[in-house]
Amino acid sequence: MQLQLAWRNIWRNPRRTLIILTAVVIGAWTMLFFGALSRGMAESMLTNSINNLTGHIQIQKQGYRDDPVVENRINDPTPIKALLDQDLPPEAKWAFRIEVNGVASNARNSKGVTIVGIDPDREPDLSFYGQSVTEGRALRPDDAHGILVGQGLLDSMDTKPGRKIVLMTQGADKETASRAFKIRGVYRAELEATEKRYVFVTLPAARKLLGVKNAVTSACIRLPEREQVGPMAETLGKHLPKGLSLLTWEDMLPLLTGYLSMFDSFMFLWYLVVFVAMGFGIVNTTLMAVLERTREFGLLKALGMKPARIVRGVLTECLILLLVGLVAGNALGLLTVLVLSGGIDLSFMAEGSQYFGMSHLIFPKLMARDVVAANGVILVLGLLVSLYPALKAGRITPVEAMAQT
């Protein structure tokens, strides 16, 4: 009965109702769509960083993270191999790496690079390596003198596949070690900075360059889902050989983790701002709807209706208004995200998005948490602010109502 009454009351003035509905719909739509967009951007930053040779979990020698030099290497990686083969689920991927800073030079140019020694069979599952070799070919496992470089580095060093590059770095004996490599292939990455920074050689070649035998600097692990990282890190941590440390992506990307942890508060703050803009409209409209019905409420009271029931009636009207607005807003938001699910191309801003470490293609990501938060904010706060006009209506006395013309 009350529901029907409220529904009919709302449509007594359709124009007014439609206008306030529009405000609620736009508000809800904005919250959802922009929420999804920002999440997509954050996700893009995170995916890029994890692909960027970080992986989900790394096992390194203690101290390597602060001081990534050959001194902090793992001399005998066999216990790690045994541990990983035993504990990791079969669908997880992992590989050993040697990662040290060095210099790449040819006759005319020298550039600072990170030399990465990889296992050509296993690495493609772990990082961007091998996903986009544009010229030449990827490294072969037995390639003792091949090197894979990024397009950015290739351009800035004025060279091309087939030519030589000399890598220099500090060897295990603390002397400068150098070795010549032949460019076998060229890769492209999302970010130009990545292309300029990493050069890939095979693990045996890197060992020879550094003058070590079986050593590696890290084991990189990638799990099927990011959510599995926590429990898996705990399992591996229990059996970890002494002197080694286990790092999750959250440890390795502290800046990004800090940013992501603040992300939820940013979003919530933003929901609040949009709500306040919308809230004024809700209060005002409801207030008008109440005040112009002073006579009606007075009459109802004179007929014996309890104030609580009047308050409930007005709140029900608001609730219906909010619900209808939310349904439409959510549908619109969902639709927008769906339409744009192919990704939003930001390549016209390529250098700007690279600056933030994002890809040029952003996929909006709608998270259940955000949808709930946005709808919750609108519904709860919406009802809260409509309490004011509702109480106002409950307090109208029959005498003053009848006195009013």
Partner 1 sequence: MEILMAWRNVWRNPRRSVLTILAIAFACLLLIFMLSFQFGMYEVMINAAVKVQTGHLQVIAKDYDKDMKMRWVVEDPQAVGDLMLAVPHITAHTFRANGFALLSSRDRTYGGMVTGVLPAREREISSTASTIRQGAYLEPGDTNQAVVGSLLAKNLHISVGDELVLLGNARDGSIAATVLNVKGVFSSGMDEYDRSAIQIPLPYFQEVFAMRGAVHQVVAVCDSLTAVGPAQSTVTGNLPKVKSKRNLECKSWDELLPGLIQSIQMDLGGGIIFYLILIVVVAFSIMNTFLMAVFERTHEFGTLMAIGAKPARLTKMLLYESAFLTSCGIILGIAAGCALTIYVESTGITLGEAQGMLRQYGIPNVMRPELSWLTAVTGPFVVFFITMLTALYPAFKVRKLKPVEAMHAI
Q: Which residues of 20-42 are buried (b: 16+ CB within 10 A; e: fewer)?
A: bbebbbbbbbbbbbbbbbbbbbb
Give the closest residue to 106 by CA, choosing from 155, 172, 170, 174.
155
Question: Does position 346 bind partner 1 by CB under 8 A?
Answer: yes
Does the protein bind partner 1 through residue 238 (CB under 8 A)?
no
Of 134-142, 228-236, 284-292, 302-310: span binding partner 1 (CB under 8 A): 284-292
How far apart CA 363 and CA 39 sit, in angstroms, is 9
**CA-based Rg of the chain, rounded to a whole angstrom?**
31
Continuous H helices in 11-90: 14-49, 78-87
330 lines the binding site for partner 1 (CB under 8 A) = no
Indicate the residue among 26 and 324 with the shorter CB distance to partner 1.
26
Judged by beta carbon, residue 174 or residue 306, the one nearer partner 1 is 174
State both tokens at 111.
């550039």
Three-class SS of residue 293?
coil
Rounded CA separation 7/329 (Å): 19
Q: Which is nearer to partner 1, 27 or 150 (CB)?
A: 27
Q: Is 351 in the site for partner 1 (CB under 8 A)?
A: yes
Q: Which is nearer to partner 1, 111 or 184 (CB)?
A: 111
Contact predicate 72/217, CB 8 Å: yes
379 binds partner 1 (CB under 8 A): no
Strands (E) across 126-217 are located at 133-136, 146-150, 164-170, 176-187, 198-202
**Binding status of residue 339 toward partner 1 by CB under 8 A:** no
The region of 121-129, 217-225, 352-360, 393-401 touching partner 1 under the rule CB under 8 A is 352-360
Instruction: For residue 102, state whether it binds partner 1 (rule: CB under 8 A).
Output: yes
CA distance 106 to 113: 13
Q: Is 62 in the site for partner 1 (CB under 8 A)?
A: no
The contact mask relative to partner 1 for 14-33 (x = CB under 8 A, - = no) is: -xx--xx-xx--xx--x---
- Give the binding site for partner 1 (CB under 8 A): 15-16, 19-20, 22-23, 26-27, 30, 34, 67, 69, 71, 101-103, 105, 107-113, 155-156, 168-170, 174, 176, 254-256, 258-259, 261-262, 273-274, 276-278, 280-285, 287-288, 292, 346, 349-356
